[in-house]
Amino acid sequence: MDIISELARAIDRADLNRIEALWERHFYRLLLQDPALVDRAVASLPSEWLAEHPRREMWRALTGALGEGRQIPTPVLERFAAFVRHDASARPADGLILLHVRLGELISHGWGERTSALIDEIHLAVEAAEDRTGLTDILPVLFILCAVARMLAHEEPAAVEVLWEAAHWASVGEGHPALASVHAHLALWHVLEERFVEAARLLGDPAPAPAAGTLAHRYQSVGFVVRALIAVGELDPGSARRWIARVDEPTVTGELEWLVLHARSRAAMLEKEPWEAIHAIRTTLSTSYDRFPPGSFSGSLLRADLAQLTQIAGDLRSAERVLRAPGMREGNLAIDVSRARQALLRGRPDDALTILRSPMRDGFTPAHFPSGVVLAASAEQEVGGEVREETLDAAAAVVRAHGAPAALTEATPPVRELLLPRVGVEAAVVPQLWECAARVRLTRREQQVLRVLRAHSSLSDIAAALFVSEDTAAASLKALYRKLGAHTREEALWLAGE
């Protein structure tokens, strides 16, 4: 059945019963396929007819809320909730619409961790549903939102599982237009773990952009951001910014604000222009802390970006503070890579290797991913003065397989020169974003001075503890500071890892 033509004919005939029947089974599909026609239907319907039933009121409210990011009026939502709870004529699909709205509210506040019980309720409602009217219409859309919530709660495997459920429901019968968005969200999962080839395969060729302010455009915006991140992985920040420019405003400021900010930050890194992106992330984290706490997926990703931007800017103290934020999760790829890079930048390649070889989940370590494996090769070279051929071959194979030449920006200059020909990338297109510090090896006497400095702050106390004059103590401190590259006691202790 051509539901678009059916709805158009029903509107022309002012056939209210037919319009209602189509919306009961195909409302979300219609919103995605032809939002202008749905708007036309809403405009043509008598206000008194819409107000007669909470379900009709909710359809009208959803038409604007889902496309333009508007809030559903509280009275409409309350009447619909009362109908779902107390009216025997309410269908399972009505209850799922209400759960969809609640889930969207939690996600908009960044409260992914609070959605678990709600998602369980959604699955139970689907399993218990005897009247399946409208289920194939809403479930692909609803399960996409469940997957976003799972991702924000650091439950990535569960997010992928829900997306495959969405793909199943979107493939029933003649198929659902939400299937393209399901693929875009699956591609998002791949691209955040630097599997750019797989992400591009899922996206396919770009489709014509729907009108702005529609549900279809918001759904396609996820694909735009994914394409931007693929462009970053391919060392093309200009294309990345062009894709980001196509993202609609409700996405930029709404539930996926963190993702747009992440894409912009990654482009800024390649351009070696970190300060504007640093300011944007700091502003977002300070004004929206509740939406992006350190323990959330989005909050972790933004803090990893902030750490890398400040590393590129040469502000390692700020990067250290970001990476030590209370509540940061272990076993997060972006955070672990940033921590390993920080260790290299501070001349601690052994610590970097420990981080990169620590398990995250399912047996994987950061060194299994493009940026991590290149960092591991760099750390290996810094530890022993050389890097094994098998390490280089493995790093090059991972970078090539995932289409991630941007991972070469993680290489130290010596490793970079060895990897470039193996990957088949010209040196001119890979910016050198940072260089690790030389390893500082303190003599036994310098280590003694450092221990005393840790315990005492005044020169007289330091001299007494060392059993030397204050002039001798001052000379020893000056020599230690010079070797560490420090200017103050606090900086010396930090650089020495105290």
pLDDT in tens, 159-205: 999 999 999 999 987 789 999 999 999 999 999 999 999 999 999 88
Question: In this structure, what are the phi and psi dihedrals at residue 488, rounded to the nearest 5 degrees?
Answer: -135, 165
Q: What is the pLDDT of residue 95?
A: 94
| Residue 196 and residue 181 in contact, taking contact as beta carbons nearer than 8 Å | no
Q: What topology does CATH give the domain 3-199?
A: 1.25.40
Compute the distance between CA of residue 340 and CA of residue 375 in angstroms, rounded to an integer.
Answer: 8
Q: Report the Cα 70 to chain-centroid distance in Å.
A: 23
Q: Which helix or strand (DSSP H or E) is residue 139 part of? A: helix 135-152
Tell whether the torsion through CA atoms of 82, 77, 38 and 11 is positive or negative. Answer: positive
| Residue 307 and residue 344 in contact, taking contact as beta carbons nearer than 8 Å | no
Compute the distance between CA of residue 175 and CA of residue 27 in angstroms, rounded to an integer.
Answer: 14
Tell whether the torsion through CA atoms of 42, 44, 48 and 53 is positive or negative. Answer: negative
SS3 134: coil
| Residue 33 and residue 39 in contact, taking contact as beta carbons nearer than 8 Å | no
What residue ranges do the domains of the chain occupy? 3-199, 341-439, 444-495
Phi-psi region of 424 (alpha: psi -120 to 50; beta: other; left: phi over 0): left
Question: CA nearest 259: which of 286, 221, 287?
Answer: 221
DSSP states of 334-367 as a string?
A: HHHHHHHHHHHHTT-HHHHHHHHTS--BTTB-GG
| Residue 366 and residue 336 in contact, taking contact as beta carbons nearer than 8 Å | yes
Burial of 299 (0-12, 13-18, 19+ CB in 10 A): buried
Long-range (24+ apart) CB contacts under 8 A made by 71-76 are: 72/101
Question: CA nearest 339: which of 371, 307, 313, 370?
Answer: 307
Question: CA nearest 14: which of 34, 36, 44?
Answer: 44
List C-alpha distances in Å: 83 to 20, 78, 120, 288, 372.
Answer: 17, 9, 22, 35, 53
Span 444-495 CATH architecture: Orthogonal Bundle (1.10)
| Residue 71 and residue 65 in contact, taking contact as beta carbons nearer than 8 Å | yes
Q: What is the pLDDT of residue 438?
A: 60
Q: What is the pLDDT of residue 29?
A: 92
Compute the distance between CA of residue 179 and CA of residue 168 in angstroms, rounded to an integer.
Answer: 9
Domains 3-199 and 444-495 share a fold: no
Q: Angle formed by the axes of helices 156-170 and 135-152, to 10°?
A: 170
Compute the distance between CA of residue 285 and CA of residue 258 in angstroms, rounded to an integer.
Answer: 10
If you ran DSSP here, which 8-state letter would residue 89 be given?
T
Compute the distance between CA of residue 89 and CA of residue 119 in angstroms, rounded to an integer.
Answer: 24
Compute the distance between CA of residue 96 and CA of residue 100 in angstroms, rounded to an integer.
Answer: 6
Low-confidence residues of the chain: pLDDT under 50 = 498
Q: What is the pLDDT of residue 471?
A: 87
Q: What is the pLDDT of residue 69?
A: 64
Q: What is the pLDDT of residue 486?
A: 72
| Residue 377 and residue 395 in contact, taking contact as beta carbons nearer than 8 Å | yes
Report which residue type is found at 279: H
Burial of 493 (0-12, 13-18, 19+ CB in 10 A): middle
Enumerate residues 6+ apart whose C-beta is below 8 A from 356.
Answer: 336, 337, 340, 365, 366, 367, 372, 375, 376, 379
Residues 173-186, buried b or exposed e (16+ Cβ, 10 A)? eeebbbbbbbbbbb
Question: CA nearest 383: which of 358, 346, 347?
Answer: 347
The structure tokens 């090896």 sit at: 441
